Structure 1
Amino acid sequence: MGDITLLIEQARDGDRAAFDRLFEKLYPELRAVAHRRLGRHAREEAVDTTALVNECYLKLSRVDGLPPVDRGHFLAYAASVMRSIIVDAARASRAERRGGGVDAIPLDTTLVDQLADPAGEILDVDAALNDLAQIDARLARVVELRYFGGLSDVEIGEALNISDRTVRRDWDKARLLLAHALRA
C-alpha cells in the first residue's frame, strides 16, 4: 500500500496527524490544481492559489470520515471542494459588486454591460454544470474536475476509474452540451 493511500486510510479513521501529513505531502499537487484553475481569472477573482488551497484544507479538515480511498480520488475530492469555494467566492464577489445590500443606483450607460464578469461566468458554468449532472453525472464530474479542479485527462481517468480516452470523449460531449446551455 502506498504512503499516500495509507495516510488517507488513517485520516478516514479520524487520525488528524495523518490528515495533516497527507495534506502536506499533496500540497504541491493541490497548489498546481488550484493554480491551473485560477490561471484564467487570477487577477479578477477574490481568491488566489494559496487562499484556495488553504480554504480547501479547512473544509476538508471538517469532514468526518474522509471519503477518498487513494491519491487520485483525494485530488478529485479536493477539486470538488475547490469548486464550491470558487463558486462561493464568485457569488460573494457578485453580491459585493451589486452593492452588498446597499440600495442600488442605476447607471444609465452601456459601458457597464460590456465589462468582463468572471464571477458571472463561474456562476453560469456552475448552473449549467448542475443541469448537466441531471442528464449525465459522469460528464458533469469530468467537467468539474477539469474546469474547476484543473486536473489532466489522466488524473481525471484515475479518479473516475475510466480511461483517459473516455475522459476526452466525455469532455468533448460535455463541452457541446454546456456550450448549448450557456448560449440559451
Structure 2
Amino acid sequence: MNAVPTTITHLLQAAGQGDRQAGDRVVELLYAELQRLARQRLYQAGQPTALDPTALVHESWLRLHQAGELDFADRGHFLAYAARVMHSIVIDQIRARQAQRRGGDYEQVTLNTAVAELPPQRDDEVLRVHEALAELAGLDARLAQVVEMRYFGGLLETEIADALGITERTVQRDWQKARLFLSMSLRAS
C-alpha cells in the first residue's frame, strides 16, 4: 500500500473523530476523483443543472458536514458515499426542475456498466433509475449498494468487495442480480 491511501485512511479516521481539518485534507487529496464522480453524475443527468462539477463536489462536502457523516473506513467507503450524496443532489435538482414542468414521454433505459460512455439521460430516465434502485434497496440493501458503488461511484469490483467485506465473486453475482431486477423494473414502468 502506498503512502497516499494510508494517509487518507488515517485522515478519514481523524475526521470521524471530529477533526474538521483532516476531513478537509481528505477532500483536497481526493479532489480529482471527486471531480470525476461529479462529472459522471452531471453527464448522466443529461440536461444542464444549476450545478457544475465543482459546485457538485462542494455541495456534497457541505451535506456530508451537515449530516455529520465523516466516519469512513477507507477511501473506497468515502468515494462510494460521496457518489451517493452526489446522486441525491442531482436527483433533487431534477425533481425541482420537473416540478416546474408537466408531462413528458418515457423512454427505455438500459443499465450499463460503462458509466463514462453512457449518453446523457433525460430527467424522467434518471428518476426511473433512482426509483427502481430505491425499490431494490427495499428488497436487498446490499444489491443496491453494489449498484451505487459500481454504476454511480465507478468503483471497481475489488474496491466494492473491500468496502462491503465480501468477495469479488459475490460482487459479480450481486451485480448480475441487481441488473436483472433493475432491467425488469425499468421495463415495467
Which 10-residue stretch deviates more, 25-34 or 158-167?
A: 158-167
Which 10-residue stretch deviates more, 8-17 or 59-68?
A: 59-68
Equivalent residue number for residue 3 of structure 1: 7
Q: CA deviation at 1:180?
A: 0.7
Q: If the length of structure 1 is used for normalisation, what is the TM-score? A: 0.81
Equivalent residue number for residue 170 of structure 2: 166
Equivalent residue number for residue 151 of structure 2: 147
Alignment partners' CA distance in 1, 2:41 and 2:170: 22
> Does the Cα contact within 8 Å between 1:13 and 1:65 map onto a contact in 2?
no
- Equivalent pairs counted in the alignment come to 171
Equivalent residue number for residue 54 of structure 1: 58
Alignment partners' CA distance in 2, 1:117 and 1:2: 37
Aligned 1:12-161 pairs, distance under 5 A: 12-42=16-46, 44-46=47-49, 47-64=51-68, 66-98=70-102, 113=105, 118-161=122-165
Alignment partners' CA distance in 2, 1:179 and 1:7: 39
Q: CA deviation at 1:65?
A: 5.4
> Does the Cα contact within 8 Å between 2:76 and 2:155 map onto a contact in 1?
no
Which 10-residue stretch deviates more, 44-53 or 82-91?
A: 44-53
> Does the Cα contact within 8 Å between 1:128 and 1:182 map onto a contact in 2?
yes
Alignment partners' CA distance in 1, 2:152 and 2:132: 13
Q: CA deviation at 1:151?
A: 2.5
> Does the Cα contact within 8 Å between 2:13 and 2:73 map onto a contact in 1?
yes
Which 5+ residue runs of structure 2 have no aligned equivalent? 108-119
Q: CA deviation at 1:136?
A: 1.1
Equivalent residue number for residue 115 of structure 2: none
The one-letter code of the counterpart of 2:41 is R
Equivalent residue number for residue 177 of structure 1: 181
Alignment partners' CA distance in 2, 1:125 and 1:113: 15
Q: CA deviation at 1:37?
A: 3.3
The DSSP-based 3-state class of the residue aligned with 2:67 is: coil
The one-letter code of the counterpart of 1:113 is D
> Does the Cα contact within 8 Å between 1:37 and 1:148 map onto a contact in 2?
yes
Alignment partners' CA distance in 2, 1:65 and 1:137: 19
The one-letter code of the counterpart of 1:93 is R
Which has more radius of gyration? Answer: 1
The one-letter code of the counterpart of 2:53 is T
